[in-house]
Amino acid sequence: MLVLGIESSCDETGLALYDTQRGLLAHALYSQVKMHEEYGGVVPELASRDHIRRAIPLLEKVLADSSVQRSEIDAIAYTQGPGLAGALLVGSSIACGLGLALDKPVLGVHHLEGHLLSPLLASEPPAFPFIALLVSGGHTQLMRVDGVGQYAMLGETLDDAAGEAFDKSAKLLGLGYPGGPAISRLAEFGDPNAYTLPRPMLHSKNLDFSFSGLKTAVLTVVKNHPANICEQDKANIARAFVDAIVDVLTAKCMTALKQTGLKRLVIAGGVGANRQLRESLNAAAAKRRYKVFYPELEFCTDNGAMIAFAGAMRLQRDPNLAKKEYGFNVKPRWPLDSLSAP
Ligand code: ATP
Ligand code: MG
Ligand code: FE
């Protein structure tokens, strides 16, 4: 079965073709980062308009790259939510328009299910069940995953998401948007002993997170510096921030594995691209004989491949999930653990 995937929940337009026999045939991505940079964050109206401009050329590209004819597509999976309403509407309209024109069924996919299943696209995919740490720009959740659509929430952030903490702290250091990769690179040059920042909820008994206090702690350190804070000091603060957030994320993952008795840990979402987090998780897991699985680096942040793949996984289990119903039904807010198994 050949599935076209369309991602448009935020500031990346992603198109991909996934075949249940042959695997991922092609994927193409356009990131709007440059456009939103000057505003210091995503401007929803600009995001929607740009998805309209990019989607069809990206579709032509994945068709050409894979030498697939439109008529060969069996179903179209699009991101139905959660995300920016206007941006989601563009993806769903294009999916439904194509579906209507080609007489093919469409299926709305949960964006976070896409992230969560993206490590299964890697060359060494994890088997179910596993613990998943979903660390993206808008979410930080620990889930127990028993199969496609079988997600039990173990803990989540009470305030900021991990990616948001990276971005906000980077902004405080003047590193631009989105600052996750930049603050991570700068931290490499930092002295680990220069500052110590709090590790929120490290010793709480549950698996919840809280990162807004950490961002405030970065703000306090920055404020205590003269206006022309030197590069080395910035690197030291970046290092303290990265060490703190990585410590908390690692500790909670180890606790989740211990509590559930599971041996496999899967990391998904943009922050999963972070080098320091990967090193820390790998070291902690090796000590305890756990195995950690990651998506390919290019599939950590938003992309169309994960949407095509999640759609294909569902349709493989129940082909009737895709329907020739072309209404506009997006879900800007949609909890992941409300999904059911196909
Ligand atoms: P959601 O999926 O929750 O709706 P999103 O789609 O915006 O949010 P992603 O695309 O998964 O989130 O990830 C983007 C986030 O990942 C940003 O906050 C970005 O700063 C962060 N990020 C990307 N690469 C890195 C990195 N190397 N280190 C730290 N953070 C990173
Ligand atoms: Mg993005
Ligand atoms: Fe995302």
pTM: 0.97
| Residue 122 domain flag | no
Q: Determine if ligand 1 sits within 6 Å of the CB of residue 13.
A: no
The mean per-residue pLDDT over the stretch 65-76 comes to 98
Q: Give distance in angstroms: CA of 204 to centre of ligand 2.
A: 31
Q: Determine if ligand 1 sits within 6 Å of the CB of residue 269.
A: yes
Q: Determine if ligand 1 sits within 6 Å of the CB of residue 136.
A: yes
Helices 231-260 and 212-223 pack at an angle, to 10 degrees, of 160
| Residue 123 domain flag | no
| Residue 185 domain flag | yes
pLDDT of residue 228: 81
Domain tally, the chain: 2
Q: Which atom of ligand 1 is nearest to the CA of 111?
A: 2
Q: Give distance in angstroms: CA of 226 to centre of ligand 2.
A: 33
* CATH number of the domain bearing residue 325: 3.30.420.40
d(CA 35, CA 178): 12
| Res. 227: pLDDT tops 90 | no
| Residue 184 domain flag | yes
Same domain membership, residue 101 and residue 149 = no
Same domain membership, residue 205 and residue 73 = no
Same domain membership, residue 254 and residue 143 = yes
Q: Which domain holds residue 194?
A: 128-294
Same domain membership, residue 213 and residue 153 = yes
Strand 75-81's sheet: what is its strand order?
23-31, 12-19, 2-7, 75-81, 106-110
Same domain membership, residue 269 and residue 141 = yes
Same domain membership, residue 74 and residue 201 = no
Q: Determine if ligand 1 sits within 6 Å of the CB of residue 167.
A: yes
pLDDT of residue 299: 98
| 118-163 pLDDT, tens digit each | 999 999 999 999 999 999 999 999 999 999 999 999 999 999 999 9
Residue nearest to atom 7 of ligand 1 (CA): 137
Residue nearest to atom 20 of ligand 1 (CA): 180
| 179-199 pLDDT, tens digit each | 999 999 999 999 999 999 999
Q: Give distance in angstroms: CA of 77 to centre of ligand 2.
A: 19
Beta strand pairing status for 2-7 and 12-19?
antiparallel
User: Where does the pLDDT of residue 328 fall: very low under 50, low under 70, confident under 90, or very high at 90 and above?
Assistant: confident
Same domain membership, residue 253 and residue 195 = yes
Which residues fall within 8 angstroms of residue 223, CB to CB, at 6 or more apart?
Answer: none
The mean per-residue pLDDT over the stretch 249-278 comes to 98
Q: Give distance in angstroms: CA of 8 to centre of ligand 2.
A: 10
pLDDT, averaged across the chain: 97
d(CA 109, CA 255): 30
Q: Candidates 166, 214, 242, 331: which one to mutate for ligand 1, based on the most atoms within 8 Å of Cβ?
A: 166
pLDDT of residue 282: 98
Same domain membership, residue 141 and residue 66 = no
Ligand-binding annotation for 19, yes or no, is no
Q: Determine if ligand 1 sits within 6 Å of the CB of residue 190.
A: no
Ligand-binding annotation for 111, yes or no, is yes
153: number of Cβ within 10 Å: 14
Same domain membership, residue 250 and residue 149 = yes
Residue nearest to atom 16 of ligand 1 (CA): 270
Same domain membership, residue 63 and residue 201 = no
Nearest to 76 by CA among 98, 50, 51: 98
Q: Give distance in angstroms: CA of 256 to centre of ligand 2.
A: 27
Same domain membership, residue 103 and residue 205 = no
| Residue 121 domain flag | no
pLDDT of residue 291: 98
d(CA 131, CA 262): 7
Helices 85-102 and 44-66 pack at an angle, to 10 degrees, of 30
d(CA 144, CA 132): 6
How far is residue 82 CA from its own chain's centroid?
12
Q: Candidates 29, 109, 136: which one to mutate for ligand 1, based on the most atoms within 8 Å of Cβ?
A: 136
| 74-85 pLDDT, tens digit each | 999 999 999 999
The mean per-residue pLDDT over the stretch 225-236 comes to 90
Q: What is the ipTM of this complex?
A: 0.99
Same domain membership, residue 290 and residue 143 = yes
